[in-house]
Amino acid sequence: MIQLLRVDHRLLHGQVAVSWVQGLGSDCIFCVGDKVANDPVWKTTLKMGKPANVKLVIKDMEHAIEAINSGVTDKYKMIICVASIAEAKQLVDGCPQITSINLGNTKSKDEQRPDARKISRQIFVTATEEEDIRELVGRGVEVEIRALADDPKVDALSAL
């Protein structure tokens, strides 16, 4: 069962490992993305940050969509972590059973994201990401902003 699809450019860190895993009672963290799945340093770092008694799975986008749709992940209480809004959209497009996205932390304005603008304390979006959020919400997908499990949900559209 997918408990949460979280966008956080850091993927797995204290907020996920402690607040979200404990808050939701999760037993699996599924890190998804082509970059992370093919980067041995990223994979080693994620394994070190994994909480005890929680399974960690790292897959590229194609194999993650395949696994979710096959039902093999249904036995877990799972948090899915992706690094970007674009990756979250890819998962939603490939897995219609995902109906909610949590925006936890996105990269701020930098050389790769010169048009990113701040919409909350930890969320920065580009024009393309804003379009993606509006499209997803228009399709009935909940897109909310929340750093920690016990924080109040903030509707992403209201922050735009």
Q: Which two tokens stand for residue 9?
A: 């450019």
Q: Which CATH superfamily is domain 2-159 in?
A: Phosphotransferase system, sorbose subfamily IIB component (3.40.35.10)
Q: Which two tokens stand for residue 117?
A: 């603008």
Asked whether residue 13 carries a pLDDT value surpassing 90, the answer given is no
Q: Which two tokens stand for residue 68?
A: 């979710």
What is the average pLDDT score of the chain? 95
Strand partners for 7: 82, 103
Domain ranges of the chain: 2-159
Alpha carbons 123 and 125: distance in angstroms, whole number = 7
Percent of the chain whose predicted confidence (pLDDT) is above 70? 100
Give residue-wise pLDDT tens across range 90-136: 999 999 999 999 999 999 988 888 999 999 999 999 999 999 999 99
Asked whether residue 15 carries a pLDDT value surpassing 80, the answer given is no
Which residues have C-beta within 8 Å of that of residue 54, sequence separation ≥ 6? 17, 21, 26, 27, 28, 29
Other Cβ atoms closer than 10 A to 108: 13
Q: Which two tokens stand for residue 76?
A: 């877990």
